[in-house]
Amino acid sequence: MGSTGTASASGVTDADDDRRNVSDVTGVLVLGACAAWSLITAAAHGGRPEGDLLAVLAVAAGYASGRIVGALLPVAAPTAGALAGLGLAVAAPYVRANPQFVTPLGHTGAVAALLTLSSGVACCAAWAARTPAQRLALHLAAAGITVAAAALDSTTGLLACAGVLLCSLAAGRMRHRGPALAALALVAALAAGTSWAVAENVLPDGLSAFLEEQLSGHRVMLWRDALTLVHQDPAFGAGPGRFGELSPTAAQSLMPDGKPHSAALQQAAEQGVVGVTLLAAAFCWVLYALWRTQRPTPIALTAGAALTALAVIASVGNALSFTIVTAGAGLLAGIATVRPLTDGRRAEQEAG
């Protein structure tokens, strides 16, 4: 009887290890392909791949750090991460989008992204807590981050943080994560597709005029410049980091930052269709890792909601241009996919 129990526990552990290895190998391949394609497009047309390589490195480093600290301190580590993200958003006004991208959506850059990630990490810490009191306190902390977004006049951050908190609370009643993660993938795809449709001017006139008013005409002109570059070379794009020097709208801007303020359109303009496909693959890999993780469904769905909100923000802003944001996204994904050490010790005890 004891040997049967031991064999059963060993089989479960081996299956869990296989699932974790598949998602980890997939992540290595996807991130490696992103780095390699950046170098290939830079060799084809020139450009500066350093920014893309740094982003890949930041995601990988954040993910590895999240796996380590999440295993050692499953509640304290994400709590500290949430406070750090909030502190950076409050104390680093220089990362806010410049004024032409502020109204009426609010700050759509790094501040909104940092607040969103902080809210997601706080909610993950809440679901990892063992006592109801701790869980309530951490969910209240996430609500406090939402209030901080309003105080910082970040409309996008306010909406994103509120959405993450509501999704986290709803996730506590869900038993199956697959359909919810598929819905989150659809939301991200719709956000990217909408920005592309606005740039192509294929939406109905009334809807197109409304969205252009909300997004600002300058941003839409940047998007259309990006599409022009895509049409010129859909395979390789113009080369990483070259949008700013090739965009007429960016050249005429009073405060140019060399970005089209849409992650998908920037990848397509600078690295072609393959580049934007790899960006989508990286997001899908994270959702796949959340689907396969051993962590409770509320944690997986909360992290998925926060990363989806980040993807939506990146569809209309330059959030992914900041290393602290990409590292924070990797950290959140790592914390949500870690296998806590306590689980392994409990399995060994049960097997014994």
Q: Which residues of 47-86 are buried (b: 16+ CB within 10 A; e: fewer)?
A: bebebbbebbbbbbbbbebbbebbbebbbebbbebbebbb
pLDDT band at 85 (very low <50, low <70, confident <90, very high): very high
> Could you tell me if 65 and 331 are in contact, meaning their C-beta atoms sit under 8 angstroms apart?
yes
Neighbours of 94 (CB within 10 A): 6
3-state secondary structure of 196: helix
pTM of the shown model:
0.89
Q: CA 158, CA 234: separation in Å to the nearest integer?
A: 36
CB-based contacts of 131: which residues, under 8 Å, 6+ apart? none
Residue-wise pLDDT for 303-331, tens only, equals: 999 999 999 999 998 899 999 999 999 99
Residue-wise pLDDT for 165-192, tens only, equals: 999 999 998 989 999 999 999 999 999 9
- Find the helix or strand (DSSP H, E) in which 222 lies: helix 217-232
Sign of the torsion angle spanned by Cα atoms 326, 324, 22, 77: negative
Q: Find the mean pLDDT for residues 265-287.
A: 96
CB-based contacts of 14: which residues, under 8 Å, 6+ apart? none
Closest listed residue to residue 328, CA positions, set 95, 34, 20, 55: 55
Closest listed residue to residue 233, CA positions, set 41, 36, 53, 47: 41
pLDDT (0 to 100) of residue 175: 85
Residue-wise pLDDT for 90-132, tens only, equals: 886 544 444 445 444 545 588 999 999 999 999 999 999 999 9
Domain coordinates in residue numbering, the chain: 2-351
Q: CA 142, CA 121: separation in Å to the nearest integer?
A: 9
